[in-house]
Amino acid sequence: MVPTSEAIIMTSNKLSAAFTQNRTEELSLDVWNDFVAPQFLPDLDLLSATKPRIVVGGRGCGKTMLLRYYSFESQFSKRRQNVPPEAFKDIGLYWRIDTQFAKVMYSRGVADTEWIIAFEHFLVVYLAIEMLRALDAISQANGGDQYRRQIDKLTFNSLNAYGPLYVGCAAALKEALQKDLKAFELWVSNVKKVQEPIFLPKAFLDNLIEVIRSGCDELRELSFHVFVDEFENLLPYQQEVVNTRIKHSQKPLVFSIAMKRRGFTTQKTVGEESITEINDYRLVDLEDELLESDFDLFAAEILLLNLWKAGFKNLPIHVESLRDISCLNERKDKDYRSNILTFVKTIFPSLSELDLAESILKEPSLRNALRKKIERALKERFGTSEGADELIDDDLPKESIICPALVYRRGLNPRMIKEELQRSKLGQPSKFDNWVHNNFIGCVLQIYEPYQKVCPFYAGFSTFIQLAKGNLRHLLELCSKSIGSGLEISGDELRPISVEIQAKAARQASAAFLQEVRSFGTHGNRLHAFVLRLGSLFALSQGRNGQIQPEVNHFSITGKSQLTEEHNKFLGEAVKWTVLFEDQETKVSRVRDGKQANLEYVLNPIYAPYFNISYRKRRRIELPIEEFQCLFEGDYTSVSELLKKYSKKWKVDLEESNPTLFTHLID
């Protein structure tokens, strides 16, 4: 049945809506229907462990979704058909502290010690309300009848030691505490005009929990697990207060936090101690967990869930199983995996290297560009451009693509290249086997570079996985933009999205994420400028004619010991916001001065399509400290001098290069 245009528009709108909500913050607090359980979920043990967890990861890796999944709003969701008895023992409370509110709880004529007590009061009141809301959710959950009867009979009169209003049933207590929160909000807004409230101590929470446990037989083993999200946004003293809760965590009240990498301003508590890994908490790096588990499958399942939410039902997933921890083993089945990945790769196909090469030779403008590159190389090296056509062979498309680079190589001449081509043609071992492996992608990107056409190298689900590098939001955005531009529906079936549309979508997403860097905290503007500078340098490297160092997209710094605190802080920010990834140096061929391998910094692959560089981690550039300093803090003149210096060194003709990136250097 051919869908009507109205049906197509409605589906398109639903798809758009389903994929626009790729930020968890856009969803309600109940994410039961939106959550897909990753394979490593039981290992995290977030909801039953006594030891606090510190979950780290970049934006978009799923920290908030994970914590909201464990919160009572999701665990006791009305959409959850069967709530198992164990769910009523450990209750998750999600708390994302309002940053703009927290940041004015400071100075203003109020002593620091008073702010600490005020913040603790805020924590107590907020969490007490959440505990009572959790009781409401338990009462209304499927399977919650036996709890409701007991919760309804609870009275909190013993709390009147803290004040005459803390009496009565759960609803009355909640109302009193909500008034407290309102009063606190008013006081924080006007610390001089409004009377300071009476601050509640942490013991209030302990007593509240005790009343619940002793008043409800069914909840006598109840524990609360508080998940504090975006910890990095707290002021130092606020972090100390939460650190203190972590330090003293034990059932029935355990605190865990989620933050970006390097999110600790301090690990001190309000006392003399600090919190340390192993002793006080267990660190969970969510991106590492995602990448080490089957990220491809997990990402595909999330993608399919979004399609299901948009109304497509003919999909190889069973939605209920995705969120059910007891079904994790089923989802490890080889056939299941194969079906899922085949399905998504059909919608988001990629080109093999052979397809890529053939498509270049078939497209007249690209074939012409290839021939011109060979001609120029021959002319520059040998004084004549004759013989260029002999280096393009439709039976050897991949080999043909890399010939321009080979002509530039000292030690090679056209005769030698033709001999190797002949060997390849005859199916004999040839140096092209190695040459193609090392240079093919770099050469492909070079052919596309001067044009506004986007290279199909950036298309395909597997490619999107690499571009996203464990970031689910990036992946969904890549898919979303592709779907928005090019998804065709035929009845109930989804047709493949062309590689051209996918590649264009990748470029658009890359540009959008690059623009977003400006909003990365107080260093956002500087980080953005740094990425542009660094990306331009990598793009210049990409333009080197001989492809001596193909696919450069990361760097190390020589003379690292000269880095100042400011430099290290900036690099820390770049890592925190996953603008850069930090790795141990690879392929250290010799130990320098007896020292350990250096760190190397990889530009987030999501920016690769914008700069027309490779997303695969292949080669690095070693930046002397002065050049790093220039990229970090140099003015425009010194940066443009540096880029021009490299363009000259690498013999990159700026006028023939990507106009988007390099026009400013020519003007």
Partner 1 sequence: MQSFRSIYASCGDDLNIQHCAFCIVGESSDDRGDAAISFCGQKSNELYVLTYNAFDLQYTLKGIAYEVDNLEPLTELFKIGFGLCDTTTLGFVETLLCLRAFKEAKSPKIGLLYIEPENYAHERTAGVLHKRDFSLTDRSQVFGAVPGSVIMVTGARRCKAAAFVGYEGDRLQQFLEQNNIPGKLCTVIYGVPAFNSGWESNAFANTVQELHERGVNSVLFAGATNPMAAYDSIKRLYQGVHGDEGLLIVPIGTKPHGIGAALFACDHETVGLVYDHPQKKKGRTGGVGTWNLYLPVF
Binding site for partner 1 (CB under 8 A): 17, 20-21, 25-26, 29, 94, 96, 98-101, 103-104, 106-109, 126, 129-130, 133, 181, 185, 188-193, 512, 515-516, 518-526, 529, 532-533, 536, 633, 635-636, 639-640, 659-661, 663-664, 667
Q: State which amino acid sits at residue 224.
A: F
Amino acid, single-letter form, for residue 186: L
Give the per-residue SS3 of 484-546.
Answer: HHHCCEECCEECCCCHHHHHHHHHHHHHHHHHHHHHCHHHHHHHHHHHHHHHHHHHHHHCCCC
Q: What φ, ψ does residue 269 adopt, rounded to 5°? A: -105, 180
> Quick one: 354 or 666, whose CB is closer to partner 1?
666
Q: Which is nearer to partner 1, 109 or 364 (CB)?
A: 109
Q: Which is nearer to partner 1, 137 or 459 (CB)?
A: 137
Specify burial of residue 65 (Cβ count, 10 A radius: 0-12, 13-18, 19+).
buried
- The full 3-state SS of 137-189, as one line of letters, equals HHHHCCCCHHHHHHHHCCCCHHHHHHCCCCCCCHHHHHHHHHHHHHHHHHHHH
**CB nearer to partner 1: pick between 7 and 17:** 17
Task: Specify the residue, 79 or 664, whose C-beta has the smaller distance to partner 1.
Answer: 664
Closest distance between partner 1 and the C-beta of residue 661, in Å? 6
Distance in angstroms (rounded) separating the CA atoms of residues 251 and 253: 5
Question: Nearest approach, Cβ of 349 to partner 1 (angstroms)?
Answer: 26
User: CB within 8 A of 146, min separation 6: which ones?
Assistant: 218
CB of 118 to partner 1, least distance (A): 13
Least distance in angstroms from the C-beta of 232 to partner 1: 12
Shorter beta-carbon distance to partner 1: residue 25 or 335: 25
DSSP string, 13-49: HHHHHHHH--SGGGS-S--TTT----TTHHHH-TTT-
CB-wise, 376 or 523, nearer to partner 1? 523
Task: Label the pairing between strands 223-229 and 253-259.
Answer: parallel
Q: How far is the CB of 222 from partner 1 (least distance, A)?
A: 21
CB of 515 to partner 1, least distance (A): 7
Taking the complex as a whole, the smallest distance from the CB of residue 521 to partner 1 amounts, in Å, to 6
Nearest-approach distance from CB 25 to partner 1, in angstroms: 4
Residue with smaller CB distance to partner 1, 343 or 513? 513
**Beta-carbon neighbour count of residue 139 at 10 Å?**
17
By beta-carbon proximity to partner 1, the closer residue of 64 and 430 is 64
Closest C-alpha to 512, from 480, 534, 546: 480
Q: Is 79 helix (H, G, I), strand (E, B) or coil?
A: coil
**Residue 425: count of CB within 10 angstroms of its CB:** 14
Cβ proximity to partner 1: between 486 and 524 the closer is: 524
Shortest Cβ 161–partner 1 spacing (Å): 27
State the nearest-atom distance from the C-beta of 19 to partner 1, in Å: 10
Contact status, residue 516 vs residue 610, Cβ threshold 8 Å: no
| Spatial separation of the C-alpha atoms in residues 194 and 566, rounded to whole Å | 41
122/281 with CB nearer partner 1: 122
CB of 144 to partner 1, least distance (A): 19
Report, in Å, the least distance between residue 230 CB and partner 1: 9
Nearer to partner 1, 181 or 291 (CB): 181
For residue 601, what are the β-bridge partners?
555, 582
Q: In angstroms, give the least distance from the CB of 531 to partner 1.
A: 10
The residue (of 325 and 666) whose beta carbon lies closer to partner 1 is: 666
- Beta-strand relationship, 619-624 and 552-558: parallel
Using DSSP, how many helices (H) and how many strands (E) does the chain show? 28, 11
Distance CA 486, CA 503 (A): 11
**Contact residues for 39 (Cβ-Cβ < 8 A; gap 6+):** 293, 294, 298, 328, 331, 332
What does the block give as tokens for 352? 């093999």
Residues 6+ apart with CB under 8 A from 662: 536, 539, 654
Residues 647, 85: Cα–Cα separation, whole Å: 67
Q: Are strands 53-56 and 282-285 parallel, antiparallel or unpaired?
A: parallel
Q: Which is closer to partner 1, CB of 175 or CB of 273? A: 175
For 73, the enclosing helix (H) or strand (E) is: helix 72-75
Shortest reach from residue 16's CB to partner 1, in Å: 9
Q: Which is nearer to partner 1, 298 or 513 (CB)?
A: 513
The DSSP 8-state label assigned to residue 282 in this structure reads E
Q: How far is the CB of 378 from partner 1 (least distance, A)?
A: 32
The DSSP bridge pattern shows strands 489-490 and 282-285 to be unpaired
Q: Which is nearer to partner 1, 142 or 660 (CB)?
A: 660
Q: 653: how many CB neighbours lie within 10 A of its CB? A: 12
CB atoms within 10 A of CB 377: 23
Q: Minimal distance in Å, beta carbon 23 to partner 1?
A: 8
Torsion sign across C-alpha atoms 461, 467, 472, 478 = negative
